[in-house]
Every structure is written in C-alpha cells, then in structure tokens.
A and B are shown apart, each in its own frame.
Chain A
Amino acid sequence: MDKFVRSWLAELKSYAAIFALVAVLACVPIVAQLLDNPFLIRLLTRAVLLGMAAVGLNFILGFGGLLSLMHASLFGIGAYVVAILAWHDFNMEPVLGFSGTSNVLIALPVALLCVGLAAMTTGVIALRTMGAYFIMITLAFNQMLYYFSISLQTYGGGDGLQILSTLTFNHFVITSRAQFYWLCVAVLGTVLIVMHKIIKSRFGMILQACAQNERRVKALGFAPLPYKLVAFVISGLIAGLAGALWAVGQGFVSPADLSWMRSADLVVIAVLGGTGRVYGPVLGAIVFVVLESVLSGLTPYWQLPLGLIVIGIVVFLKGGLADLFVGRRHA
C-alpha cells in the first residue's frame, strides 16, 4: 500500500511542472484585469497556441530526433478547415454534399481528420528518407501546401479568409477573450498531460530509442517506420489542433500562417524552451511572443535582433530556457 502511494506520488510529481505552468497561465486574465491591460490576454493566447503547435513539433523533434519544417502547414490546414466550413455555413453552400458548419465541436474533428490525412500521406514519403533529406522534404511539403492555400481563390487566395459567421460550441457561444483563452489553456494542459503519458509509455520509449540508434532498434526486432509515422501524425494533429483554435480565436486565416518561416519559428520556439521537456516549447513560446511584441514595438527592424538572439541561442544555450529554470536534465 505504501509502495503504491509512493509510486502514485512520484507519478504526480512528474506532472508538477505541467500543473504549475498551466496554473500560472490560467491566472493571466486575472492579472490582465488587475493591470487593466487586455492586450496581455491576446498576447498570451498567441503564445499558448504557438506553444501548443511547438509542443506537437517537439514530440518528434525532441523525442524522435526528426526535424520537421512543415508544421506550420499542418497548423494551417487545421485553421483553414475551420474557416472553410464556417464560410460554407455563412454562404449556405454545401461542401462535398455536406452543409458547412460554424459549430466548432463539429469543425474540430473534421479539421483533425484532414490534418491527420495530410500528415500521414506526407509522412509516409518523408520518413522513408533520413537526416537532411527529411528536413528538406518537409520544407518542400510546407511550401507545397502554402502555395495550395494561395491558390484557393474561392477562399480568398493570397488575401486569406475572414470568418464571418458566429462560431459556436454546440449552443454555447464564447463571448470574451478571457473565456477563449481559458479554453486554450485547458486544451494545452490536456495536450501536455497526454504527451507526457505517451513519452513515458512503451511507444514513447521506442520512439526515443529510434532517435538515438535506429539500427539497434531494428536489431531488437522493431520496425521503426510505423512508430515514427504514428509519432509524426500525432505531432501533426497537435499542431493542427492549435491551428484550428487559432482560426477560432482570430476569426481569420491566411496563407501567411502556413509560411515556412512560421515552421522555422516553431523550431526556434521549441529549441528556445528546450526540446528535452514536454512543456519546454510553451516556455519558449511565451518568451518568443513577448520578445516579438517588445522588439516590434521598439523598431520596425525587429527581426535583426531576433535573428541575432536565435544565433546566440544556438551558440550558447544548448538545453533551452527550461535548463535555466529547472537546471539540467539528468541524462
């Protein structure tokens, strides 16, 4: 009994950082209220959603050793599906024989289905290659989907697509930014816990083993490809989920959300926060978004210092910000 309690406590303790992070994030609207600074909520909503996408990316980057530069496009598919369904609902035009919808609870699963299919198809091709080829193929797929989004003339083409209908959650309508923010934080918390569980599971162990020594994994009788593919799809689904929420929050989607530079931003966010921990990218996203907002407030040439910071991080900070906060992870 004692043993059971102790292992249960140890399990709980391993979630402590996630709980703490979610709790701190949940307090932001209250702080914003006290400071009378509603901009803070918008900023943190952005951070939470970019962070969620980066958490997805980091699942294969930090734990699978796969550097994907197409996660912005998966994020973008999630966003576009929500916006397109809403467009069809607003214009009362059926899409593929179904009517459109402004109900997020219907749109979200559809979006995830589309993202999953896209991730599966591209993953099968990309994962057959290794190392640098994988990076460049994912980059090319990102660009492909980016151009595809631009070519969608019905849905705004290069200008993007405004969501004109009122999005609902069944009959519930989100009325305040704070409500939406809390929803995003709750989803993020769920994602983090699920990720944590997966990484500690047998599946997660094999995935990490693949990243370290694929030959040895093969020698143990596992075929790495299915594991990597499932991981890639899960990773893409999380990015797509973040994208779908992004569309709900912004009421607007645009090809810029799919740009490869955004994919690179997600990598920066993951590395900034530390790829060794599940929640690292969330820290990275907060710093990134704040940095972006502060720098762009100071100068129109804010990418210059940002670029220098990115270079500096690669040169100096190997374990990301999470190392600064929590100390080095034991190997």
Chain B
Amino acid sequence: MTPVLWVEQTLNGVQLGVMLFLMSAGLTLVFGIMNLINLAHGSLYMAGAFFAATFTLWTGNFFLALLLALAASALLGVVMEYSVLRRFYGRSHLDQVLVTFGLILVVNDVTRLIWGVVPVPFGIPTFLSGSVFVMPGLPYPIFRLAVLAVGLLVALGLFLIVAHTRVGMWIRAGASDRVMAGALGVDVPLIFSIVFAAGAALAGLAGLMAGPITAVQVGMGEPVLILALVVIVVGGIGSIRGAFIAALLIGVADTFGRVLLPPALGSMVIFILMAAILAWRPRGLFSAHG
C-alpha cells in the first residue's frame, strides 16, 4: 500500500468511525440506563436522511433543512419512546426485540408509502461538492471531510457534556445504576427522555450525513444498526467513552479489512475482532456496570 492509500483509507475509516459513534451514542446510553434493546434505532438513522432530503427540496436551504431534519428525528424518537417503548422498560429482552422489530417493519413501510421505493435524491450544496487535495496526489471529497469534521466536533461536544457536566454525571450514574441514581434525587425518567431524544437526533444526523454518500433508501438503517450494536457491545454497554473508542476501532478495522484482505475475510473482519474482544472481555472494553 502506498502512503497516499494509507492516508485515504485512514480518513475513510475515521469517518466511518465517527458516524458509527453518532449512531451508538444514543443506543448505548438508552441501553445502559433503561436496559432497553432498541433495534428501531436504525429507523431513526433512515428517517434523518429522508427528512433532510425532503426538507432540502422544500426549503432550498441546506442548513435550514439540516436543523429541521434533526428536530424531526428527535421528535420521531420522542414519539416512539412515548407511545410504545416506554411500556417495555421492565419487560424481557425478548419482548423488546420483538416490539422494536415490529417498529422497524412499520417505519420501513410507512417510509415506502410516503417516499416510494426508489432512492430519494439528496443533493448537496455546491460549496460542499468537489474535492480538495489533502496531500499531493490525494484528492478527497469536501463533503466527506465536512462529515468527518462535523462528526468529530459533535463527538467532542458530546464527550464534554457527558464527561464534564452535572447532567453528564447524572447520565453516567443512571447508566450504571438507575435505582441508586434515583434514590439520590436524580430524575431518571426525565434524564432518559432527554437522552432518548438526543440519541434520536444523533442517529438522524448520522443518517443525513450518510445520505449523500450512500443512498437515501428504505432499509439503509439496518446494516448500520448492526454495526452500531457491535460497537456498543465491544465498547461496553452504557459507556460513551467505550462507544467512541470502539467506533473508531470498528470503523478503521472495517475500512482496512476491505482493502487489505480478500473480500470473504474483509467483510467479516470486524465481527472476528468483536468475537476476539468479547472472548477476552465478555462485557466489553469499558462496561458501565463495573
């Protein structure tokens, strides 16, 4: 591999990593605090992309559309949590898997009903299209660089909030021992609703940033959902730090695996990595539950 290829693939890998982190952040906290397996998190990712594509078309303003799409994703998350998921906190994982699987089917078909089966076009503004040279001999799409920057900034912001604010302490305390946090005066249901809405917005953000790169179509959320689940299992359920490190690890490993290894092995590399890490630490790298 040439240096140029190394740099390019590293950029791709880190970019995939930050996207996975945006997906995993909400998922791991929801899991950690409420012990809820939410397979429908991928639907929020998909919704973010569809919302952004449509709002861009309506408003003609890319940034306004982004903000609207984020708000809409958060709102969809709140509706999902309030109408269905709230009843399933104390239930078995089996019930949770079934009900969120049911939600996937419903959201997928409602999306098909509204937007049709053909991928929705999602244009990016001219100043974000095109490429720049990140080093001699390596042109790199501006949009991907923007995604990378936004992803890193959001990850940094999220990290600062979770690691250095009072709310962040409550979130982490809730993720590790919900009952005890409540007994010390933390309003866990409120914190959880905020986390769920924020997690939905972040999934939406990941989706809308992936939209122009991949394609805005029904079912785009599920492969990413599974990668995000791998991330939170490897990182340790309930741990933001674990999710970040695991997301980068998985992103880079997946990207290089596909480049360096034969295709049959390349597509499996992250799962093998996951299996190896879990064989070594069955509760992930940084479990919030001690």
Contact = CB atoms under 8 A, between A and B. Distances in A.
Contacts of A133: 233, 237, 278, 282-284
A308 interface: yes
Contacts of A150: 267
A132 B103 contact: no
A259 B195 CA distance: 30
A311 B106 contact: yes
Contact of B37 (A128, A135, A306): A135
A125 interface: yes
Contacts of A300: 112
B95 interface: yes
Interface stretch (A48-56, A184-192, A201-209, A260-268): A260-268
Interface in A281-331: 300-304, 306-311, 313-315
Contacts of A141: 271, 275
B37 A148 contact: no
A308 B267 contact: no
B210 to A, nearest CB: 18
A144 B94 contact: no
Interface string B218-249: 00001100100110110001000000000000
B68 interface: no
Contacts of A306: 105
Interface in A206-232: none
A260 B106 CA distance: 17
B233 A137 contact: yes
B132 interface: no
Please classify the interface of chain A as helix (H, G, I), strand (E, B), loop, or mixed, using the class held by over half of its residues: helix
A135 B97 contact: yes
A79 interface: no
B102 A260 contact: no
Interface residues of A, number: 45
Contacts of B217: none
Q: Which secondary structure dominates chain B's binding surface?
A: helix
Interface string B92-123: 01110111011111101110110000000000
B264 interface: yes
A302 B283 CA distance: 39
A310 B96 CA distance: 11
Contacts of B39: 264
Assign chain B's interface to a size class.
35 or more
Contacts of B106: 303-304, 307-308, 311
A133 B35 CA distance: 11
B279 A143 contact: no
A183 B113 CA distance: 41
A132 B37 contact: yes
A140 B264 contact: no
B271 A143 contact: yes
B163 interface: no
A278 interface: no
A131 interface: yes
A82 interface: no
Interface string A146-168: 01101111000000000000000
The 10 A-B residue pairs whose C-beta atoms are closest, nearest first, are A307-B105, A310-B102, A144-B271, A304-B109, A147-B267, A307-B106, A311-B102, A151-B264, A303-B105, A307-B102
Interface of A: 61, 67, 69, 122, 125, 128-133, 135-137, 139-141, 143-144, 147-148, 150-153, 260-261, 264, 267-268, 271, 300-304, 306-311, 313-315
Given A264-B39, A311-B99, 9 more contacts: A61-B94, A129-B282, A132-B93, A133-B237, A136-B230, A147-B267, A148-B267, A267-B101, A307-B106
Interface of B: 31, 35, 37, 39, 84, 87, 93-95, 97-99, 101-106, 108-110, 112-113, 222-223, 226, 229-230, 232-233, 237, 263-264, 266-268, 271-272, 274-275, 278-279, 282-284
11 contacts: A67-B93, A67-B94, A67-B97, A128-B278, A137-B274, A304-B106, A304-B110, A307-B101, A307-B103, A307-B108, A315-B99
